[in-house]
Amino acid sequence: MSNQIHPTALVDRAAQLGDNITIGPFAIIEADTALGDGCQIKAGAIIRRYTTLGRENVVHSYAVLGSDPQDFKFCSQDVTYLKIGDKNRIHEYVTISRATKPGGATVVGNGCMFMTETHIGHDSVIGDHVIMVNGTAIAGHVEIHDRAVLSAHACVHQFCWMGELAMARGNSAATQHVPPFVLIKDINKLGGLNVVGMRRAGYSAKERVEIKDAYNLLYRRGLTPAKALVEMEQHTEWGPGAVKFRDFARRVLMAEKPFGRGFVSHADPDEEQEEKD
């Protein structure tokens, strides 16, 4: 099918457009951009230069993609990028910055949903099927891994990593690394394991027990993180889920500044509220 471009939209001739694209009233598509097949750009949305979108993304009104990074070190003459995958839903007033250093990229995977007024900072990497609820914000150089969920107004500090299927409760914040499969609340405070999320993602009862064993070693056995990792390394029988937890822990322990931020804090077992297996 041919593209449908509203006559009031401003689409630079140097923009690369796929097929079956819809661009609404007063939308702006700058030069040096690329939109994949089936993208929908709603009224008033802005796609800044050096931004690439894959197939079938929906960008709602007044979202701004590929804006200059909010970083004093950034030089406006530098060529940096924003690279977005396929089938993402990007809602109203979402802002995603491109990278800071020449040749760098902010990267978004596939199948994500970014709800109204969320912000993704420069040089961050977002995995697949990530959900960011209204008003969430992540700073620069953050990683959010596959199927993580940030509830309303949650924040992640720069240089922090949030593991697969981790979930941040509303109004929470992380200034340290968040392991896979955990819940966080308040500021850097654990709330147990995301058992419901693991079930929905298809992790078996056996795999969930293994993940809980890894979690207990790191947070409930009174071990230092380094000693907990040594104990984890003994479990050669663990399946993919617990291995991901262990690999994440190893990466955190090996991280150097500015990424050497440690783990979110030990949970009080009396305050943990995860659903029991």
Using CA atoms, how far apart are residues 193 and 214, in angstroms rounded to an integer?
11
Is the pLDDT reported for residue 137 higher than 90? yes
Mean pLDDT of the chain: 95
Query: CA-CA distances (angstroms) from residue 137 to 22, 131, 175, 205?
Result: 28, 12, 12, 33
Confidence bin at 266 (pLDDT 50/70/90): confident
* Statement to judge: residues 135 and 236 lie in one domain: no
Using CA atoms, how far apart are residues 49 and 32, in angstroms rounded to an integer?
5
**Structural domain total, the chain:** 2
Mean pLDDT, range 192-214, rounded to an integer: 96
* Statement to judge: residues 104 and 38 lie in one domain: yes
Using CA atoms, how far apart are residues 151 and 163, in angstroms rounded to an integer?
15
Q: What pLDDT, in 10s, does the model give residues 50-62? A: 999 999 999 999 9
Q: Is residue 120 part of a domain?
A: yes
Mean pLDDT, range 143-149, rounded to an integer: 98
* Statement to judge: residues 17 and 136 lie in one domain: yes
Mean pLDDT, range 205-230, rounded to an integer: 96
* Statement to judge: residues 202 and 117 lie in one domain: no
Mean pLDDT, range 92-99, rounded to an integer: 98
Q: Is residue 269 part of a domain?
A: no
* Statement to judge: residues 134 and 222 lie in one domain: no
Which residue in 24, 66, 123, 145 is the catalytic one?
A: 123
Using CA atoms, how far apart are residues 79 and 40, in angstroms rounded to an integer?
26
Residue 18: per-residue pLDDT: 96
Greater model confidence, 270 or 246: 246
Question: Which of 99, 126, 141 finishes a domain?
Answer: 141
Mean pLDDT, range 20-38, rounded to an integer: 98
Angle at 180 (CA atoms; ends 175, 186), nearest 5 degrees? 40
Query: CA-CA distances (angstroms) from residue 67 to 42, 78, 204?
Result: 17, 13, 42
Q: Map tokens 């200059």 to a residue.
A: 68
Question: What is the per-residue burial (b if ≥16 Cβ within 10 Å, else e) of 29-65?
Answer: bbebbbbbebbbbbebbbbbbbbbbbbbbbbbbbbbb
Q: Is residue 152 part of a domain?
A: no
* Statement to judge: residues 101 and 8 lie in one domain: yes
In the sheet that holds 131-132, the strands lie side by side as 4-5, 22-23, 40-41, 58-59, 89-90, 113-114, 131-132, 149-150, 167-168, 182-185, 189-193
Is the pLDDT reported for residue 90 higher than 90? yes
Closest to 41 in 3D by CA, of 93, 107, 105, 90: 90
Question: What is the per-residue burial (b if ≥16 Cβ within 10 Å, else e) of 67-91?
Answer: eebebeebeeebebbbbbbbbbbbb
CB atoms within 10 A of CB 205: 10
CATH of the domain at 124: 2.160.10.10
Residue 20: per-residue pLDDT: 97
Does the annotation count 85 as an active-site position?
no
Query: Percent of the chain beyond pLDDT 90?
Result: 94
Question: Which of 116, 141, 166 finishes a domain?
Answer: 141
Does the annotation count 122 as an active-site position?
yes
Q: Is residue 11 part of a domain?
A: yes
Which residue in 140, 163, 191, 192 is the catalytic one?
A: 140
Does the annotation count 140 as an active-site position?
yes
Confidence bin at 202 (pLDDT 50/70/90): very high
Residue 103: per-residue pLDDT: 97
Cis peptide preceding 69, ω within 30 of 0: no
* Statement to judge: residues 113 and 207 lie in one domain: no
CATH of the domain at 245: 1.20.1180
Query: What angle do the packed helices 240-254 and 225-233 form, to 10 degrees?
Result: 140
107: containing domain: 4-141
Which residue in 60, 91, 122, 157 is the catalytic one?
A: 122
